């Protein structure tokens, strides 16, 4: 019998370590991830200001797992058939599978945003944001699009870096408050902390597109910028057609395939999240 864990983010690594402790020796466990290391995602923003932290927020999968670890991109999953396609070619069959592929940055087909903005999902993104920021001159503007948790965090790091210059850090949020999925008291505290740190915060301001030096806003106006960081939302893995499928409390995607973590949206019997 083979159990496959597809993805070694928070959900996948936690599940794999638990399965190593509980599965009998007769069961084969394989973990598949396109990277050889687990990234502590919620600490990624800190690398923008302190790149030396990169080594502290990555964990070698072979060092923490005793099972088979495959480095490959999961490019397709067939939940009912119990198969996954690796690197667009190889088929991995399993008896029980857990899809833990997480989520990626969503650009919502906004013209030019994918081409002209840097997301914050990988170490390379954090390094790129830092390098671009250090190239800015006095009076230049970096815009962070999206004031969810990642946007708030990276805006704060950039504000610390900008404290010795005249560069402006501008945080845009489409909703009426920063950290829109959090309680009002938290939103207020975060807003005040950002302003105190020197961040210019604009809520109720949606992005409609971008080019090399301008962001088009939903109200029809244009905003000049010198650097653009995009943290405006997430979507599912390409292996699931960029969808985050709805699952019930049993997390089933198929007869023997389950979705764990950000790969899916869990709803109750009434369809409510």
pLDDT digits (tens, 9 = 90+) for 3-60: 999 999 999 999 999 999 999 999 999 999 999 999 999 999 999 999 999 999 999 9
Is 219 found in the same domain as 153? Answer: yes
Is 94 found in the same domain as 23? Answer: yes
Is 255 found in the same domain as 174? Answer: no
Residue 201 pLDDT exceeds 60 = yes
User: Could you list the residue range(s) of the whole structural domain that residue 52 is in?
Assistant: 2-104+235-266
> Which residues 6+ apart lie within 8 Å of 157 measured at CB?
45, 46, 48, 49
18 DSSP assignment = H
Contact (CB, 8 A) for 158 and 147: no
Residue 181 pLDDT exceeds 80 = yes
Is 123 found in the same domain as 73? Answer: no
Domain tally, the chain: 2
> Which residues 6+ apart lie within 8 Å of 10 measured at CB?
41, 102, 261
Residue 189 pLDDT exceeds 80 = yes
In a domain, residue 179? The reply is yes
Is 203 found in the same domain as 135? Answer: yes
Burial 108-145 (b: 16+ CB within 10 A, else e): eebebbeebbbbbbebebbebbbeebeebeeebbbbbb
- 6 vs 205: CA distance, rounded Å: 37
- 146 vs 151: CA distance, rounded Å: 6
Please write the tens of the pLDDT for every residue from 168-177. 999 999 999 9
- 111 vs 79: CA distance, rounded Å: 33
Is 118 found in the same domain as 43? Answer: no
In a domain, residue 244? The reply is yes
Is 167 found in the same domain as 112? Answer: yes
pTM: 0.91
Is 248 found in the same domain as 208? Answer: no
The pLDDT of residue 165 is 82
Take residue 4 and report the two structure tokens written for it.
Answer: 């496959």
The pLDDT of residue 123 is 97
Is 195 found in the same domain as 183? Answer: yes
The pLDDT of residue 271 is 54
Is 21 found in the same domain as 53? Answer: yes
Residue 273 pLDDT exceeds 60 = no
Contact (CB, 8 A) for 45 and 120: yes
In a domain, residue 26? The reply is yes
In a domain, residue 272? The reply is no
Categorize the per-residue pLDDT at 241 as very low, low, confident or very high, splitting at 50, 70 and 90.
confident
Categorize the per-residue pLDDT at 264 as very low, low, confident or very high, splitting at 50, 70 and 90.
confident
Is 85 found in the same domain as 6? Answer: yes
In a domain, residue 184? The reply is yes
Please write the tens of the pLDDT for every residue from 128-175. 999 999 999 989 999 999 999 999 999 999 999 998 788 999 999 999
Give the CATH number for residue 57: 3.50.50.60
The pLDDT of residue 272 is 54
Is 97 found in the same domain as 177? Answer: no
């Amino acid at each position: 019998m083979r159990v496959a864990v597809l993805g070694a983010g928070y959900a996948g690594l936690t599940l794999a370590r638990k399965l190593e402790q509980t599965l009998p020796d007769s069961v084969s466990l394989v973990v598949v991830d396109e990277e050889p290391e687990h990234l502590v995602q919620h600490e990624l923003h800190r690398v923008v200001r302190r790149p030396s932290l990169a080594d502290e927020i990555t964990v070698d999968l072979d060092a923490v797992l005793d099972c088979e670890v495959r480095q490959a991109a999961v490019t397709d999953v067939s939940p009912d058939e119990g198969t996954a396609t690796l690197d667009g070619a190889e088929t991995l069959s399993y008896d029980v599978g857990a899809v833990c592929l997480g989520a990626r940055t969503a650009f919502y087909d906004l013209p030019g945003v994918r081409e002209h903005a840097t997301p914050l999902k990988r170490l390379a993104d954090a390094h790129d944001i830092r390098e671009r920021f250090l190239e800015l001159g006095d009076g230049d503007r970096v815009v962070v699009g999206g004031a969810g948790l990642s946007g708030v965090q990276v805006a704060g790091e950039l504000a610390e870096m900008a404290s010795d210059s005249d560069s402006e850090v501008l945080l845009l949020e489409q909703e009426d408050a920063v950290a829109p999925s959090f309680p009002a008291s938290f939103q207020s505290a975060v807003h005040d902390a950002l302003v105190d740190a020197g961040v210019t915060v604009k809520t109720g301001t949606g992005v409609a597109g971008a080019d090399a030096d301008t962001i088009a806003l939903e109200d029809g106006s244009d905003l000049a910028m010198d650097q653009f960081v995009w943290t405006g939302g997430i979507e599912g893995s390409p292996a699931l057609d960029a969808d985050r499928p709805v699952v019930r409390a049993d997390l089933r995607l198929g007869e023997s395939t389950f979705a764990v973590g950000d790969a899916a949206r869990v709803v109750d019997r009434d369809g409510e999240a």
